[in-house]
């Protein structure tokens, strides 16, 4: 395959389903060799790898809980051993444990912070060493509109996603001198497993000027843009909303 990411290697955390899966397909279509990280869904992750191979691309599936430092090390080492470099990191893996503040248990708080914020730190720190050395790289963190505007029932999630925004800006400033960019994407409501059980769809749609949920492919298109050279080479430290106009 030839494209904007020819000969590059991209790691996408949580790429077995949803936005991560769509991004893996999109980056592979641009010629990147893709690491399809997952936590539990090995069959789904292998299906993504197979689909990329059928389309003439290259991908490997790597199991790792990215909230755990030792497993992140394995993810990075496996990537370097098998693919030899890392050009793009998409910190996409995320979970929700929604409940109102007064009912939120410390474990609901901790699980969301551990993956959605600490996982982003661990993966970014690990790839930074490699990107600084090669003097190039793209770090793309998936935040959320919840981290910008808050959302009842998501104190844990919105705190983690707001943390991702601050983290992204600091990383952008620390790594810029060596040609490494870091940006965040803040999706609104996107049709994935994460949103399929929401019961208040009618209420939510009232707040979306475009009047519909977004699609994983639409977020993947923005990720592909931020990964591409030279298209996004001069963009760093930004938060890009993709939310049908919810936040403006
Ligand atoms: P999703 O469909 O629920 O998929 C989540 C992905 O994360 C899966 O591939 C899952 O792997 C992986 N994952 C879960 N725990 C993991 C762990 N400990 N280590 C590594 N991977 C793990 O989610 P999505 O809707 O695509 O969301 C993707 C990102 O976008 C998340 O950061 C989410 O917060 C953000 N986001 C989503 C929306 C939305 O409306 N959907 C809106 C704003 C932001 P397994 O299949 O193995 O479990």
Q: Where are the domains of the chain?
A: 9-242
Q: Name the closest-CA residue to atom 41, ligand 1.
A: 190
| pLDDT 10s digits, 115-152 | 999 999 999 999 999 999 999 999 999 999 999 999 99
Q: Is the pLDDT of residue 109 over 90?
A: yes
Q: Is the pLDDT of residue 24 over 70?
A: yes
- Quick check: is 213 catalytic? no
Pair 64, 71: CB distance under 8 Å: yes
186-196 mean pLDDT: 97
Which is nearest to 17 in space by CA: 208, 195, 174, 175?
195
Question: And the tokens for 194?
Answer: 């994460």
CA angle 60, 66, 71 (to 5 degrees): 75
Helices (H) and strands (E) in the chain, counts: 9, 9
The domain 9-242 having CATH identifier 3.40.50.720: the answer here is yes
Catalytic residue among 157, 207, 213, 234: 157
Question: Average pLDDT of the chain?
Answer: 97
At residue 73 the predicted structure's pLDDT band, cuts being 50, 70 and 90, is: very high
Distance set, CA 1 to CA 6, 58, 164, 245 (Å): 7, 9, 33, 35
Query: Given this model, what pLDDT does residue 199 score?
Result: 83
Q: Is the pLDDT of residue 223 over 70?
A: yes
123 CB less than 6 Å from ligand 1?
no
Distance CA 243, CA 169 (A): 21
Query: Given this model, what pLDDT does residue 198 score?
Result: 87
Question: And the tokens for 234?
Answer: 């001069």
Q: Is the pLDDT of residue 64 over 70?
A: yes
Q: What share of the chain is helix, strand, coil (3-state, %, to 5)?
A: 50, 15, 35
184 CB less than 6 Å from ligand 1?
no
Q: What is the DSSP string of 162-225?
A: HHHHHHHHHHHHHHGGGTEEEEEEEE-SEESGGGTT-S-HHHHHHT-TT-S-EEHHHHHHHHHH
Query: Given this model, what pLDDT does residue 79 score?
Result: 98
| For the chain, percent of residues with pLDDT exceeding 70 | 100
Q: Does the bond joining 230 to the residue before it have cis omega, within 30 degrees of 0?
A: yes
CA angle 57, 58, 61 (to 5 degrees): 130
Q: Which atom of ligand 1 is nearest to the CA of 91?
A: 32
At residue 1 the predicted structure's pLDDT band, cuts being 50, 70 and 90, is: low
- Rounded distance from Cα 18 to ligand 1 centre (Å): 7
61-90 mean pLDDT: 98
């Amino acid at each position: 395959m030839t494209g904007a990411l020819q000969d590059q290697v991209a790691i996408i955390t949580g790429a077995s389903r949803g936005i991560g899966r769509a991004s893996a397909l999109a980056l592979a279509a641009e010629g990147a060799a893709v690491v399809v990280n997952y936590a539990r869904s090995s069959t789904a992750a292998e299906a993504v790898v197979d689909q990329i191979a059928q389309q003439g691309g290259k991908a490997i599936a790597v199991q790792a809980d990215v909230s755990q430092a030792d497993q992140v090390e394995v993810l990075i080492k496996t990537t370097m051993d098998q693919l030899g470099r890392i050009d793009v990191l998409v910190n996409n893996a995320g979970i929700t444990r929604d409940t109102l503040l007064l009912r939120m248990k410390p474990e609901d708080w901790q699980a969301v912070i551990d993956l959605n914020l600490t996982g982003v730190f661990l993966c970014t720190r690990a790839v930074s060493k490699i990107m600084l050395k090669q003097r190039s790289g793209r770090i793309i963190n998936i935040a959320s509109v919840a981290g910008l505007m808050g959302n009842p029932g998501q104190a844990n999630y919105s705190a983690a996603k707001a943390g991702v925004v601050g983290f992204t800006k600091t990383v952008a400033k620390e790594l810029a001198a060596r040609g490494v960019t870091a940006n965040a994407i803040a999706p609104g409501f996107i049709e994935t497993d994460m949103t399929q059980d929401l019961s208040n769809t009618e209420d939510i749609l009232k707040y979306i000027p475009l009047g519909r949920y977004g699609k994983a492919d639409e977020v993947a298109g923005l990720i592909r843009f931020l990964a591409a050279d030279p298209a996004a080479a001069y963009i760093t430290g930004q938060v890009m909303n993709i939310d049908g106009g919810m936040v403006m």
